[in-house]
Structure 1
Amino acid sequence: MDLLSLFGANVRHHRKAKGWTLEHLAAAVGVSAVTIGKIERGKAAPLFETAEKIAAALGVSAPVLFGADAAPGDGERARLLTEIHRTLSRMNEDQLDRAAKILKAFMG
């Protein structure tokens, strides 16, 4: 996953964790909802100032949104974990709940 996609997935994850809409985050940051949508999809790179505003609005540090808290590595395991993270960040609360139950059942 490239840096734009990782940043976008993390923004989406933290926005949804707060229960915010694209519009809510956009208003807090001072950009359009279309811009936030493009950032979340990894289609637009935010300016550093915008990245800092997004992080502040979400209550996290900017490095977290860039994946500074992610496990290091570039092997197959890291690729799979990143892909799983991207998929989970797109889920709503009900889907996340079901996914968590499936994982718990799978792991025993």
Structure 2
Amino acid sequence: MRHHRKAKGWTLEQLADQVGVCRETFGNIERGKAAPLFETDEKIAAAPGVPTPGSGERARPLVDIHGTPSRMNDDRLARAGKMLTAFPG
């Protein structure tokens, strides 16, 4: 999202206002320090000019996978990260 936002010439504040979340929250989402709530994902997708997640058969599994880490404790998240980096390519 950060690359798209900067390519459009938007500030973090402008996009956060457009989506309806505070700048700090949106910054944390961009940096991967926070996972957005499903409602926030919907607002991001509905904002004009903001790219939406993929569609087709890949979309649903990606949405499901995206939410899973936000529900993990730190230990499980670290183990899941190691498992994902072990997959080739």
Which stretches in structure 1 are left out of the alignment for 5+ residues? 1-10, 69-73, 77-108
- 1:39 counterpart (3, 22, 29): 29
Looking at structure 2, the residues matched to 48 and 61 of structure 1 have their Cα atoms a distance apart, in angstroms, of 13
Looking at structure 1, the residues matched to 26 and 54 of structure 2 have their Cα atoms a distance apart, in angstroms, of 18
Give the fraction of aligned pairs with identical amino acids, expressed as a percent.
66
TM-score by length of 2: 0.55
Alignment RMSD, CA only?
A: 2.2
Matched, 1:25 2:38: no
Name the structure, 1 or 2, with higher relative contact order (CA <8 Å, separation 6+).
Answer: 1
**Per-residue deviation, residues 31-78 of structure 1 (Å, max 9, x unmatched):** 1000011001100010112112112324322338xxx6xxxxx524xx
Looking at structure 2, the residues matched to 55 and 20 of structure 1 have their Cα atoms a distance apart, in angstroms, of 16
- 1:52 counterpart (38, 42, 60): 42
**Cα separation, partners in 2 of 1:30 and 1:20, compared to 1, 3 Å:** same
TM-score by length of 1: 0.47
Looking at structure 1, the residues matched to 28 and 15 of structure 2 have their Cα atoms a distance apart, in angstroms, of 13
Number of aligned positions between the proteins: 59
Looking at structure 2, the residues matched to 59 and 29 of structure 1 have their Cα atoms a distance apart, in angstroms, of 10
Looking at structure 2, the residues matched to 49 and 63 of structure 1 have their Cα atoms a distance apart, in angstroms, of 17
